[in-house]
Amino acid sequence: LSDCLACDNCMTSEEGARVFQQNQKEFFHVLNLNKKCDTSKHKVLAVSICPQSLPYFAAKFNLSVNDAAKRLCGFLKSLGVHYVFDTTIAADFSILESQREFVQRYQRRNQEEHALPMFASACPG
């Protein structure tokens, strides 16, 4: 989240409030609470890992990307995280949707003045 440019193009204000709540301080606060209470009262912690971050960890620790993913997942679970998700499939769906929209716009380029150009981007954060 610290790399977010706060461009407001990726979320509604309600989603923004939820993202604001998802910070390092809150993460460790919940981890500590979970250690102190009985398991029936635990808050479930889920972490999503974007595919762009794994090569950074791999290079930093001289690992393959697969090993970096396994170790990062293991580390997070050792802290007390319940679920670790890879968001690669979400990125794939986003690319497929952009592709579909581009094909539709390209086919309408002669009938619709503003069909092209089409700009698409992933969040730089």
Distance CA 8, CA 16 (A): 8
Mean pLDDT of 1-15: 57
Please state, rounded to an integer, the average pLDDT across all residues of the chain. 81
| The pLDDT value given to residue 40 | 77
Instruction: Say if residues 58 and 64 touch (Cβ distance below 8 Å).
Output: yes
Query: Cis (ω within 30 of 0) for the bond into 117?
Result: yes
Tens-digit pLDDT profile for residues 39-64: 777 788 888 888 778 888 899 999 99
Tens-digit pLDDT profile for residues 11-49: 555 555 666 666 778 888 888 888 887 777 778 888 888
Among 3-12, 35-44, 61-70, 77-86, the range scoring the smallest mean pLDDT is 3-12
Is 22 exposed, middle or buried, given 0-12, 13-18 or 19+ CB atoms closer than 10 A? exposed
